[in-house]
Structure formats: structure tokens, C-alpha cells
Amino acid sequence: MISKKKNNLLGDVIPVIIIAVILISLKEFKLVSTSRLLILQYIGLYSIFVLGINMVNGYLGIFSLAHAGFMASGAYAAAISSRYFFKESWMFPLILLFGGFVAMVIGLIMSIPSFKAKGDYLAIITLGFSLIVQSFLQNWRFVGASKGINNVAKFTNIYWVFGCLLFAIFIVRKFINSKYGRSLKAIREDQVASELVSVDVKRAKTMAFAVSAFLIGIAGALLVHLLGYTSPSAYGYTNIVDGLVMVYLGGMGSITGSIVGATLWQILIQTLKSLGTWRWVVGGGLLCMIMIFLNNGLFGNKELSDAIRAIRYYFSRIILKKNSPEETRK
């Protein structure tokens, strides 16, 4: 039992160290251009965003469109806090936590309609919420109305982004492997049956929405402090669709899938930039192909560890076959 735990720990620590070394060498020794570095940061923060969406849309199985609203509230809360309260760069963690916390409180409120409403109706409610947040920000003078907030301190760097991503992965993994995580999957399958085996559905939904909104809020806070400005127009339909695309591309209910989905989609839209408007055609077409041929997304309900196990199993069989040809002839 203990040795197994140690093994897991080693398996976790080594990749983290490798990634950290890569990141440090990329940034400090300027191995890649600044624009590439920026894409990397996008990938990191959108991975957090997608992990948050996956919590509700993937593990809990509710089709929610509230993520744009959560991101907007996290981003704005963080931008306001860094302008008025936390002005020093060492206070950045506080800013991030504040953004996440504000989004979480709103997420708690947004979980209430999910107790009663179902399916398409809940999707409409959450869409309404996102649009309300957007138009509220558009009309609130204090935050610059439709012009948004400019001159936000650019605290975000690649270490913060990937540090937060690590934190997000840690939270999601802890949560999913807890009894609440298991109850989320049970509710996704059959809400009544899970109530009949004593699962507290309201509590599980509340927790899922809270964790989801918290992560999305942090992603918003990182984004604001990366770009240095924010405006309500960034949290409309485009943001909603972007989030959904990344979740479905990577696969529902999977941490690996969230990161892969965010990575692929960000790389895709950045590298296709030269195509102008046509990139949406190419990108959209690619998306259609993936959905047709891999209709669970790339990692639907699977993790990287499962994939590695499958590959290992596949190769071990090939090696076995080579070593013992007599056996295969039988």
C-alpha cells in the first residue's frame, strides 16, 4: 500500500520537474519567441478554464453555459482588486484567489437552478446568466462600461500560469477521487437512483458548481493580468463557444482531455491566424471530423494513465508474439 503511494508520488513529481525545467529554460534562456511564449500561457490558462467547465459539463453531466459569466466575474473582480487593493506584484496570489472566490460565490448561487431545472432548460438559464453578467458589465460605469478596464498590471507570467494549472489539476483530482466526485458521476448517470443510495444531490451539485466557478474565475484573473486589459465583449458567445469546443474536443470527464483540448484548440487558432477568417472554416471542419470519428472527444472519460497502460499492454503483446512464435501459430 505504502509503496504504491510512493510510486504514485514519483509518477507525479517527475513530470512536474520535467515541465518546470522546460518552462524555465524556455523563458530564461529565450529559446522561443515571445509570441510563442504567449501562446503557451494561453494554453495554460485555458486549460484551467476547461478543467473548470469539465467539472460541471463533464463530470456532473449538466450542459451549462455559465462559464463565460464565471470568467467575467473572476476577471473583473481580480482587475478591480489589483487596481484598488493589491497593487504590489507579490500580492498576485491574493488577486487570483479573490477572483476565484468571487466567481465561486456566484457559482454557488448558479447551482440553485440546477436543483430543479433539467437539460435544455438549464442550458437556457445558464446562458441567460452569462448574458446578464455581460450586459451588467457593459452598463456599469465603475468598471468602464463597454470600454472595459485598461492598464491592468501585467502580473501574469508563465510560472504563475503553470503553477495555477498544477494547483487546478491537484484540486480536480482530489475532488474527483473523493466521495463527492464519485457522487457526481452517479448523478450524471441517474439522479433518482443516486438519491436512493443516499447521495446528497444538492450538496454535490453545489460543490461541483463552486469548484468549477473557482477554477474558471482564476483563469479569468490570469487572463486579465496577462493581457493588461479587459472588456465585456470578451465574455460573450465567442467565449461560451470556445469553452465548449475545447471541452468536447478534449473529452468530457477527463483531466487529460481538458488540457489536450485547450492545447490543441489554442495552437490551432493561433497557427491558422494567417488564414484570416478562413481559419474558422478550417478549424470548424477539423472539429467536425474529430467529432464524427472520435465522438467521445480525444480523451472522453479516460486519462493519460489509461492511455499509457493501453499502449504498454499493446507493445507487451507484440513483444510476446515476437519472442514466442510457436504460441501464436497454435
Partner 1 sequence: MSDRENQQNPLLRVSDLYVSYGKIAAIKGISFDVYKGEIVAMLGANGAGKTTTLNALTSVISVKSGEISLKGKNIKGMPTHKITMMGMIHVPEGRRIFPTLTVGENLRAAAYLYEKKDKVQYENRRDYVMELFPRLRERVNQMGGTLSGGEQQMLAIGRALITGGDIMLMDEPSMGMAPNLVIEIFETIQKIAANGQTIMLVEQNAMMAMEIAHYCYVLETGNVTYDGTPEMMKTNKNIVEAYLGS
By CB under 8 A, name the binding residues for partner 1. Answer: 179, 182-183, 185-186, 189-190, 192-201, 301
Angstrom distance (rounded) from CA 213 to CA 138:
21
Residues 125, 251, 53, CA angle at the centre, nearest 5°? 35
φ, ψ for residue 221, nearest 5 deg: -60, -40
Position 310: which residue type? A
Quote the least distance from Cβ 300 to partner 1, whole Å. Answer: 10
What is the rounded CA–CA span in Å between residue 304 and residue 197? 31
Q: Is 201 or 291 the residue whose CB approaches partner 1 more closely? A: 201
User: Residue 62 or 226: which CB sits closer to partner 1?
Assistant: 62
**What is the nearest approach in angstroms of partner 1 to the Cβ of residue 80?**
39
Q: How many residues does the chain have?
A: 330
Give the number of other Cβ atoms within 10 Å of residue 145's Cβ: 13
The smaller minimum CB distance to partner 1, of residues 27 and 182, is found at 182
Closest distance of CB 195 from partner 1, Å: 4
Return the SS3 of 228.
Answer: coil
**Cβ at position 205, least distance to partner 1 in Å:** 12
Name the amino acid, one letter, at 60: L
Least Å distance between CB 330 and partner 1? Answer: 26
Residue 231 contacts residue 147 (beta carbons within 8 Å): yes
Residue 269: CB atoms within 10 A of its CB come to 17
Q: How far apart are CA 32 and CA 30, in angstroms?
A: 5
In the complex, the smallest distance separating the C-beta of residue 264 from partner 1, rounded to whole angstroms, is 24
Q: Which is nearer to partner 1, 115 or 278 (CB)?
A: 115
Q: How far is the CB of 116 from partner 1 (least distance, A)?
A: 13
- State the Cα torsion 230-264-172-196 to the nearest 10°: 110
Nearer to partner 1, 69 or 253 (CB): 253
Nearer to partner 1, 69 or 297 (CB): 297
154 versus 202: smaller Cβ distance to partner 1: 202
Amino acid at 293: F
